[in-house]
Amino acid sequence: MDMEYSAINGIIVKEEEAKISVRDIALGRGYGIFDFFQIQDGKPIHMEAHLDRFERSSEIMRLDLKWDREQVVNTIQDLLQKNQVKSAGVKLIGTGGVSADGASIANGNLAIMLYPFKSPSTELHKTGVKLLSYEYQRLLPHVKSINYLYAVYLSEELTKAGALEPLYYTTKSVRETSRANIFAVKNGTLITPHEKILEGITRKTIIEKLDFPMELRNITLQELKEADEVFLCGTTKVALGVTHIDGDKIGDGTVGAITQEIRKKLISLA
C-alpha cells in the first residue's frame, strides 16, 4: 500500500506536500545522506544501529540537520499511526540545504518517509544472483550517501546481463556492491573486505553474533571467484547467495549450505 504521510524537518505532511527547494545542493550537487531500516509488527529492526550510522554520516558530511534522536523516533511512530501501519520500511534523507553560492553546505533538511514493508526474497535466495564486476572505489565510503551515480549509469548493462548489482573492486581488493556488503566462504571460513567500504548493519551482525571462523581482510576479485560460496548481505537481502560473477560460476553454481544457514540465523535474530 502507498504511504500517504511523510515528514520534513519534524513536520508531518501529506506525501505530495513533502517538498524541498530545487536549489537544495542535494539536487544541484548530489550532496546528501540517507539510511534505511524496517519495522515489523511495531518492532524496529536494528533501528539504533541505523540511527547511529546516520548520525556518523551526518557528522562526516558536515551536515547541519538540527536533528534530535528522540524527536526522530517519535516522528517515526507518529508516521506509523498516521499511515495506519505497523510494518514499514523507514527511510531518512539528510540534505546539504540551500546555500548562497549553490555549492557550499547550508542549513540542511531532514526527510523521513515510509515504504511498504519488504519481506526477504524467497525466490532469489533459492536461485542466487549474478554480479558484474567494475573497477571503482566509492568516494567517502564510510558515508551512506545519496550518490548512486555509477550504479544507476550501469543499470542498462546489468539488466542485459541478468545481473542484480555491480560489484566494485580495486587492484587491491573487492569492496562491496552498490547496495550490499559481500562475503566469501572458503573451507568453512567467512572472509569479508575490511576497509574502504560502508560497514553495513547486517555485516556487523554476522561478524559479532554468528559463530563462524572469520577473516576481515582484503580479498582480490580472482580469490572471490575461486571461493566455495559468495553471498551478499543487507537489510532486505539478509544473506543472498551469489552464483555467478562476470559469467564465472561460484562453487557449483548453486546457493551454498553455509549461506543458507547464515540466512536462517539472521532471520531468527531480527
φ, ψ for residue 57, nearest 5 deg: -60, -40
**Range list of β-strands (E), 121-218:** 129-135, 165-169, 174-177, 181-186, 189-192, 214-216
In this model, does residue 270 exceed pLDDT 80? Answer: no
The amino acid sitting at 129 is: V
Q: What gap in Å lies between CA 244 and CA 32, rounded to an integer?
A: 33
DSSP conformation letters of 207-237? HHHS-S-EEES---HHHHHTSSEEEEEETTT
What is the rounded end-to-end Cα distance, in angstroms, of the chain? 23
pLDDT > 90 in the chain, percent: 93
Mean pLDDT, residues 24-29 taken together: 95
* Mean pLDDT to the nearest integer, 220-236: 97
* Helix axes of 47-60 and 69-82: crossing angle, nearest 10 degrees: 120
* CATH superfamily ID and name for 123-269: D-amino Acid Aminotransferase, subunit A, domain 2 (3.20.10.10)
pLDDT digits (tens, 9 = 90+) for 30-46: 999 999 999 999 999 99
CA 157 to chain centre: 21
Give dist(CA 96, CA 180) in Å, integer: 25
69, amino acid identity: R
Chain region(s) in the chain for CATH 3.20.10.10: 123-269
Q: What is the pLDDT of residues 171-203, one digit of tens each?
A: 999 999 999 999 999 999 999 999 999 999 999
Name the residue among 18, 182, 201 with its Cα closest to residue 113.
18
The conformation of residue 15, written as its DSSP 8-state character, comes to G
Active site residues: 144
The distance from CA 17 to its chain's CA centroid, rounded to whole angstroms, is: 27
Residue ranges of the chain that CATH labels 3.30.470.10: 5-115
pLDDT for the residue 121 = 72
Task: Give burial (CB, 10 Å; 0-12/13-18/19+) of 108.
Answer: buried
Look at residue 1 and tell me whether its pLDDT is greater than 70: no
pLDDT tens per residue, range 63-105: 989 889 999 999 999 999 999 999 999 999 999 999 989 899 9
Q: How far apart are CA 7 and CA 25, in angstroms?
A: 19
Across all residues in the chain, what is the average pLDDT? 95
Task: Give the list of residues 6+ apart from residue 210 with CB closer than 8 angstroms, or none.
Answer: 262, 265, 266
pLDDT, position 89: 96
- What is the C-alpha to C-alpha distance for residues 92 and 108, in angstroms, rounded to an integer? 13
Cell 526477504 identifies what position?
Answer: 120
pTM of the predicted structure, to 2 decimals: 0.93
pLDDT single digits (tens) 104-157: 999 999 999 999 998 777 789 999 999 999 999 999 999 999 999 999 999 999
Chain position carrying cell 573487492: 174
- β-partners of residue 7 are 12, 112
Compute φ and ψ for 3, nearest 5 degrees: -95, 125
CATH architecture entry for 5-115: 2-Layer Sandwich (3.30)
